[in-house]
DNA sequence: GATGAATGAGTGTTCATTCAT
DNA sequence: TATGAATGAACACTCATTCAT
């Protein structure tokens, strides 16, 4: 369903999936290395294991590849996040687990997140909207995680903001790694950010902060 | 002093400054519109008000323009941030003022910040380091603002993290505007983020959150 | 074998040969007219019968074209020289035939030789070495022609020098044509130079000179 | 008289001479290093010790510089050759001295000669003619040297050819240095070429060749 | 006379895209 | 369906030349 925006002149849906997966894998490797603009379609085709002609049987423009890659990154994040969030245990402990898992996931996918930050602007307005929609869904998932575990009510805006803060704190671990990863281990980072979040949510007393 | 890394074949330092300012202004306009890669050197020259030949009298490569622009953005941010932070009144009120000013500044410079996020990767390793150094300085300024106003000690890591969080929350207002600016006014946003920060710093009790 | 130093992004070896032959022919025409530096790659492409894009599918830099042309000239000279020298009849008559053929060949290829004289310096050091090596082989061929037909021993250096003299006397016919071809017919030129050579080799008595 | 073909907007003849001498010196240095085409007018101006604006006060086009340089080289060769040839002693010994001096001169001016061989083609037809005329004069000087010392008559063509041969043998020492200067010392080279010349002139018996 | 900033046509080279096989 | 040779618009950058000061 998700890739259907991108037209292909090939009919066999199965084949389309296979080829596009090859393509996404190949392109992702290259985008991590040199970014979207510095990567040529020829390189993508080669890295994907087929010819430039074949590449263009499955996409229409180079931008399509970028969209496919962004979409795939979001898909991967969502899939892995759902696997954790899905648990409907509204406890603080569960909240902590979700957030911890989320941060670990962000650590795992640093380079992919970086691509989203740096290359989404190269998508056309239309396509970019589709990608941003995925971002909104991601925030929603965190909002749910927050809401379901709160022992007390919190204004909607606070939840939205907390979710967004946690989201970009996850991203930040990757895109400010040159600053953070020299001063924090991942575990430190998670622990501290989690504490800040809990305090902000009115769960843990602020006096505890810094005691760990 | 700051632009001296970029070589010019023109000797008149005064003139270099004038032309580079024109150039930065022109390039910034274009980069906001279409990004660095989609902007041609000819367009930069034209927008700056001179010929392509003249452009190259003041820089050596297109990347130089990007560096000049990034450097100029940082310079502007720093200048305006210093004007507020400089006040050496170690009170909580002062801290709130600094952060508020900082968020307002980030609102003002949304598009510039976006450029930093998206284009710094196009700089060469060497130049990128220089730019990231400026980022570190920015974080330091916020750390100072936090430290000087705290009524009690806080672990170094906590301060670093709080500063980084505030920093990217400021950035986020711009780069996630499609999400945040539909749900928050700038004033709301500042107020909420400030409260979260104060609580995290152990200053305001968490119970107050949401009450305002 | 000889053109393998120049990389092509086209895989079909047969096609590479065809296109490069077109290219060499086109470039040679232009180089004769206006020299290497004054000829643009676009002109080469056009004269060769294909687009600038296609040109660059078969070479990597403009210098490659020059190398291909120089290499081709040497190949042609060598091929045609070998056809005559190869005869292993160690007689003076044979020597005269070889030298005569060589001078005729140089007459035929005046403009090509001129290109070698004027443009080899534009090759990179590495490539230039490869071309000079061909020059050495050419001299060797003449040395062989001299050695095999001599009725008596001659010091190695004398043979080397005689070969080099004959070689550049052949070249000179072309590059000093503005002087020589107004005063000599090709036949005169050959006859005189041959006599000088024979006398120098101690074969013909010097008293004969000027008698013919 | 000689440089008058090149127009200057400066009136002071004395100054023109001074500036052009600086210019020739600077340009020559650069042409030896990187050839005419790879040298920019800016570089010439800088190496000459004045600005690009001043350069263009004394010439009209870049080609003028090349002409001035070629002309200066010829002037230098002629001046130094005349100093030797001028002696009107028609002896064989004198001939040998002249030729020896000539070869030494060619050794001295290898790089200048190389420039003549490689760059004259970049002159316009008109200017080129003027330069070739100088070449003819050079040949004439050698013809004179031959003629005056011959004990017996020789056909005009023989003299012309001998002069041309000696001339380019002198040049060859420089432009084929990669081949000759590995196998011959300058003294060897002169001695051998001189012997060949004498034999060709019917002066020394051919049996002597190789005995030295 | 001297300067050097300004100009813009021109250059080598790249690369997304097409299409005949 | 797959291939890869062909295309040419587009790009970053250079440099001879001019001219106001």
pLDDT in tens, D13-28: 999 999 999 999 999 9
Here the tokens at position A186 are: 């991942």
Domain of residue D47 covers: 2-208
3+ Cβ–Cβ pairs closer than 8 Å linking A and B:
yes
> Would you say residue A2 has pLDDT above 60?
no
Q: Is the pLDDT of residue B91 over 60?
A: yes
Tokens of B106: 């980030």
C56 touches strand F (CB under 7 A): yes
| Residue A84 pLDDT | 81
* Residues of chain D contacting C206 with CB distance shorter than 8 Å: 199-202, 205-206
Find, among C170, C171, C166, C122, the residue nearest to C147 by Cα: C166
List the pLDDT tens digit at each of the 212 positions of chain C.
444 589 999 999 999 999 999 999 999 999 999 999 999 999 999 999 999 999 999 999 999 999 999 999 999 999 998 888 766 677 888 889 999 999 999 999 999 999 999 999 999 999 999 999 999 999 999 998 888 888 788 899 999 999 999 999 999 999 999 999 999 999 999 999 999 999 998 886 534 433 33
Q: Which positions ≥6 away from C208 have C-beta within 8 Å? A: C195, C199
Q: Give which of D105, D95, D101 is closest to D200, Cα–Cα.
A: D95
- Which of D35, D201, D207 has its CB closest to that of C121? D35
Question: Which chains would you list as touching C if contact means 3+ CB atom pairs under 8 Å?
Answer: D
Closest nucleotide to the alpha carbon of D15, via C1': E1
Token readout for C43 is: 């002109």
The CATH number assigned to the domain holding C78 equals: 1.10.357.10
Q: Do D205 and C206 touch (CB under 8 A)?
A: yes
Distance A195 CA to F3 C1' (A): 58
Q: Does B210 touch chain A (CB under 8 A)?
A: yes
Query: With 0-12 CB in 10 A as exposed, 13-18 as middle and 19+ as buried, what is B212?
Result: exposed
* Mean of pLDDT values over A153-163: 92
Please list, in sequence order, all residues whose beta carbon lies within 8 angstroms of the beta carbon of residue A110, skipping any fewer than 6 positions away.
Answer: A173, A174, A175, A177
Nearest nucleotide by C1' position to the A64 CA atom: E16
- pLDDT (tens digit per residue) in B11-69: 999 999 999 999 999 999 999 999 999 999 999 999 999 999 999 999 999 999 999 99
Contacts of residue B121 in chain A, CB cutoff 8 Å? 35, 114, 118
Q: Which D residues in the span 188-207 are in contact with C, Cβ-Cβ below 8 Å?
A: 188-189, 192-193, 196, 199-202, 205-207
Return d(Cα C164, Cα C141) in angstroms, integer.
11
**Contact call for C158 and D205, based on CB within 8 A:** no
Whether B46 sits with its Cβ under 7 A from any strand F atom: the answer reads no
- Residue D86 tokens read as 């001028």
Using a CB–CB cutoff of 8 Å, tell me whether B125 touches chain A: no
Query: Which carries the bigger pLDDT value, residue A7 or residue C190?
Result: C190
Amino acid whose CA is nearest the C1' of F10: B40
CA distance D109 to D96: 20
User: Among B35, B161, B162, whose Cβ lies nearest the Cβ of A121?
Assistant: B35
Segment C149-176, tens digit of pLDDT: 887 888 999 999 999 999 999 999 999 9
CB-nearest to D192 from C35, C158, C203 is C158
Hey, what are D154's tokens? Answer: 């020789």
Subunit contact C176:D160, Cβ cutoff 8 A = no
| pLDDT value at residue D2 | 44
**Residues D79-100: tens digit of each pLDDT:** 998 888 766 677 888 889 999 9
Instruction: Say if residue B199's pLDDT is above 80.
Output: yes
Q: How far is the CA of C46 from the C1' of F15 (A)?
A: 25
Give yes or no for A53 touching B (CB within 8 A): no
Strand E nucleotides within a 7 Å radius of protein CB atoms: 1-20
When pLDDT is averaged across residues A180-208 and rounded to a whole number, the result is 86
Residues whose CB falls within 8 Å of the CB of residue C197, separated by 6 or more in sequence, listed in order: C99, C162, C165, C166
CB of B16 closer than 8 Å to CB of B8 = yes
- Residue A143 CA: distances (Å) to CA of A85, A146, A205: 11, 5, 22
Nearest residue, CB atoms, D157 vs list C162, C183, C202 = C183
Cβ distance D117 to C117 less than 8 Å, yes or no, reads yes
Touch of B by C (3+ CB pairs closer than 8 Å): no
What span, in angstroms and rounded, lies between the C-alpha atoms of D55 and D53? Answer: 5
> What separation in angstroms does the CA of C16 have from each of A24, C8, C47, D112?
33, 8, 17, 40
Comparing A57-61, A76-80, C149-153, the range with the smallest average pLDDT is: C149-153
**Nucleotide with C1' nearest the C10 CA:** F5
And the tokens for D15?
């100054």
Residues in chain C: 212
State the Cα–Cα distance between residues B72 and D184, nearest whole angstrom: 64
B86: pLDDT confidence band, cut at 50, 70 and 90? low
Rounded Cα–Cα distance for residues B174 and C138 (Å): 72
Q: Are A94 and A87 in contact (CB under 8 A)?
A: yes
**CB neighbour burial string for B81-111, b if at least 16 within 10 angstroms, e if fewer:** beebbeeeeeeeebbbbbbbbbbbbbbebbb
pLDDT at B82 over 70: yes
A183 and B157: CB-CB below 8 Å? yes
Rounded Cα distance between B55 and B61, Å, is: 10
Which nt has its C1' nearest the CA of A41?
Answer: E16
Highest mean pLDDT among A195-204, B91-100, B178-187, C202-211: B178-187
What's the pLDDT score for residue A3?
Answer: 47
Contact B161 A184 (CB under 8 A): yes
Neighbour-count burial of D101, counting CB atoms closer than 10 A to its CB (0-12 exposed, 13-18 middle, 19+ buried): middle
| Inter-chain contacts counted by CB atoms under 8 A, chains A and B | 112
Contacts of D87 by beta carbon, 8 Å cutoff, 6+ apart:
D94
In chain C, the residue whose alpha carbon lies closest to the alpha carbon of D172 is C168
Task: With beta carbons under 8 A apart, name residues in chain D contacting C168.
Answer: 168-169, 172, 176
Confidence of residue B205 (pLDDT cuts 50, 70, 90): low
Which of helix, strand or coil describes residue A138?
helix
Chain A contact for B212, CB < 8 A? no
Q: If you average pLDDT over every residue of chain A, what do you get?
A: 90
- pLDDT one-digit tens code per residue, A128-147: 999 999 999 999 999 988 88
pLDDT confidence bin for D154, thresholds 50/70/90: confident
Per-residue tokens: A78: 């969502």
Predicted confidence at residue D90, as pLDDT, reads: 76
Residue B4 has pLDDT above 90, yes or no: no
Range D149-157 average pLDDT: 84
Q: Which residue is nearest to nucleotide E6 (CA to C1')?
A: B54
Who contacts B77 (Cβ-Cβ below 8 Å, separation ≥6)? B105, B109, B112, B138
| Record: contact D196-C164, CB cut-off 8 A | no
Rounded, the Å distance between the CA of C101 and C1' of E2 is: 60
Most confident stretch, B92-101, C111-120, D6-15: C111-120
Q: Can you give the C-alpha Rg of chain D in angstroms? A: 20
Give the pLDDT of residue B207: 41
Q: Which of residues 35-64 of A touch strand F (CB under 7 A)?
A: 50-54, 56-57
Nearest Cα to Cα of residue A169 among A84, A102, A70:
A102
* Residue D200 near residue C196, CB atoms below 8 Å: yes
Average confidence score pLDDT of chain B = 91
Domain count of chain D? 1
User: H or E stretch including D134?
Assistant: helix D125-149
């Amino acid at each position: 369903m998700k890739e259907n925006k991108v037209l292909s002149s090939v009919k066999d849906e199965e084949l389309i999936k296979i080829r596009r997966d090859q393509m996404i894998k190949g392109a992702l490797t290259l985008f991590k290395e040199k970014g979207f603009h510095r990567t040529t379609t020829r390189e993508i085709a080669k890295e994907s294991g087929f010819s430039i002609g074949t590449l263009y049987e499955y996409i229409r423009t180079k931008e399509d590849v970028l969209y496919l890659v962004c979409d795939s990154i979001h898909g991967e994040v969502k899939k892995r996040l759902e696997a954790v969030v899905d648990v409907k245990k509204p406890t603080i402990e569960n909240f902590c687990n979700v957030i911890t898992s989320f941060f670990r996931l962000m650590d795992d996918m640093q380079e992919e997140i970086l691509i989203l930050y740096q290359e989404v602007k190269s998508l056309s307005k239309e396509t970019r909207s589709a990608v941003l929609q995925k971002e909104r869904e991601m925030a929603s998932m965190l909002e749910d995680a927050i809401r379901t575990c709160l022992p007390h009510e919190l204004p909607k805006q606070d939840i939205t903001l907390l979710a967004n803060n946690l989201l970009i704190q996850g991203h930040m671990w990757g895109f400010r790694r040159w600053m953070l990863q020299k001063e924090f281990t991942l575990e430190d980072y998670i622990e501290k950010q989690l504490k800040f979040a809990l305090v902000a949510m009115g769960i843990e007393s602020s006096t505890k902060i810094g005691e760990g």
